[in-house]
Chains A and B, each alone.
Chain A
Amino acid sequence: MSATVRPVAINTFREAVRDRVLYNLVLFALLMIGAAILVGGVSIGIVQLVIINLGLSSISIFGLVMAIFIGVGLVYKEMEKRTLYSLLAKPIRRWQFLVGKYAGLLLTLVVNTAFMTLGLAAAFFYVGGHIERANLSVLTAIYFILLELAMVTALAMFFSCFSSPMLSTLYTLAIYITGVFANDIHGIGDFTKSPAVLGVTRAIYYLVPNFHDFNAIATAAHGDSIPFALIWQNSLYAALYILLLLIASSAVFSRRNLK
């Protein structure tokens, strides 16, 4: 990471760490995993499945809440509070500031996901789970969650460059939900005879990020393996999507007058 981007990233991480809301989210995630232990205790025979399912879902949901709610304020807050004025007076380009902010939030998400993963592992071993080859699927599922969070963060930051946090949240949530059902939207196009509906569903399918393939929670909970091809395919897809969003954010933000 360049000497200009790193301080911004570290400062963004520091801000998140000093933000009490963040601690609450982690605490809440740990409580959810605790609840999984209780549910697992009454569901004879499927203890580990329930714990992995609930644990991974908690990691995903709390990660998403953080990615969206912190992401939409990443740029907007700096503009609104005018902290950006002193910063951009230094020899830093606007795109470097954006990359720094993005990297900082990503680092925050990775650290939080790591803590939640530790919590999940603790719960897993608590109920007598032991390390098997199938557990690798759990780690892969967590990796997919992180890729998903990285894309959502880039989306939230993109909207944060030109709209208010409330609108950015709505836009990001709308695209996320559409992305989760991207395959179903594609399917609707297959069944229609209307060229207009087909065109619209295809356009949505190719425009919004397809989050469907990033959900490996059920596969991991059942101990099934995740194909290696899907891992690199998802990694490449996420990397390209994030790159495009960062370029778009940069193009918008570099022309923006800071009032």
Chain B
Amino acid sequence: MTAPAIEILGLTKDYPVGFWRPKMRRSLDNLSFQVEEGEVFGFLGPNGAGKTTTMKLLMGLIFPTSGTARVRGRAIDDIEMHREIGYLPEQPYFYDYLTARELLDYYAQFSDFSSVERRERVTRFLERVGLTAAADIQLRKFSKGMLQRAGIAQAILHDPPVVILDEPMSGLDPVGRREIRDIILDLKNQGRTVFFSTHILSDAEMLCDRVAVLAGGKLQGVGAPRDIVAMKAHAMEVLFEMREGRALPADLAAQVTKIGGRSRMTVPEDQLYLALEKLRGAEARILSVSPLHPTLEDYFFQLVGGARTKRGLEEISR
């Protein structure tokens, strides 16, 4: 049996806050989930949820307070793990005195390519992310979208089986977002695992096989986007018409919205039959009854609202 692409096992991260007698602030709380090989896996959550912290822990940029993680069976403190992984940091900043070609050549030197292969590869990946025309321009003259593309190129330059992208669509215009989406789909078609964080939910719904939702440093759910939203109770939408001269039952009136000559009513699933009985008693003409599938966005906002009312993250004294 092959190891999962990414395996996160009880990762917890506390940060000291304050200079004098610092308190520990928990930014990630006992996080555990797996990303399978070949999946496009979305990591969702509001700002400050702990998405970037998780990715930085995976990359060894920060160290866990407790717990561990593995990438394709290798521990995150194993330097060889970095050969299997490509990483785009959030809002990437690169050496702006280098050209895009020089930047990619620099990063390529940490993989075992010959100089001929390196040159060929750099040219190929510049083309792949659409930077051929700007290959010999210094990065300080690049737009945000171009920098993001250069960042993706450096992340996938060594053909890693696992690619971690921290907010790859952040700050991009619709064209830029579409280009990044195409690259992610391209990586998936090549059988690579893509683990990316985002708060643009339509992108996650469009791209991801599965998502994990994080709020306040805690995991709220993992699954296919449809499964995630299915965790919450469904509601049913009833569309009907009242006959001439017939009045709507008084206890239903508050739930009904009139659109043209039709009426729309949303009822919880367990009260559907009762509501239909009442409508039948009033000789209403039922046009349709359909389940309301909440979107990932609905679920996300519900979570964010909950997290915000808790006002911040758990604080523990050390």
Contacts and interface: CB of A to CB of B under 8 A. Distances in A.
Partners in one complex: yes
Interface of A: 3-4, 6-7, 11, 14-15, 18-19, 81-93, 255, 257-259
Contacts of B87: 85-86, 89
24 contacts: A3-B109, A4-B110, A6-B109, A7-B106, A11-B98, A18-B97, A82-B89, A82-B91, A85-B87, A85-B92, A86-B89, A86-B92, A86-B107, A86-B155, A88-B59, A89-B85, A89-B89, A90-B82, A90-B111, A91-B79, A91-B83, A92-B110, A257-B61, A258-B56
Contacts of A7: 106, 109-110
Interface centre among B89, B92, B151 (most CB of A within 10 A): B89
B62 A258 contact: yes
A84 B61 CA distance: 9
Nearest to A3: B109
A83 B94 contact: yes
Contacts of A87: 107
A6 to B, nearest CB: 8
Nearest to B86: A89
B93 interface: yes
Cβ-closest 9 pairs across A and B: A89-B87, A90-B110, A85-B89, A7-B109, A257-B62, A91-B82, A258-B61, A18-B97, A81-B93
A26 to B, nearest CB: 18
Contacts of B79: 91-93
Given A89-B85, A90-B82, A92-B110, A255 B63 contact: yes
A92 B61 CA distance: 12
Contacts of A11: 95, 98, 106
A25 to B, nearest CB: 17
A255 B93 CA distance: 23
B61 A88 contact: yes
A149 B107 CA distance: 29
Contacts of A18: 97
A90 B79 CA distance: 9
Nearest to A94: B60
Nearest to B61: A258
B197 interface: no
Given A86-B88, A86-B151, 15 more contacts: A14-B98, A81-B93, A83-B93, A85-B56, A85-B59, A86-B94, A89-B86, A90-B110, A91-B82, A92-B110, A255-B63, A257-B15, A257-B61, A257-B62, A258-B56
B12 interface: no
A190 to B, nearest CB: 41
A88 B60 contact: yes
A86 B106 CA distance: 11
B244 interface: no
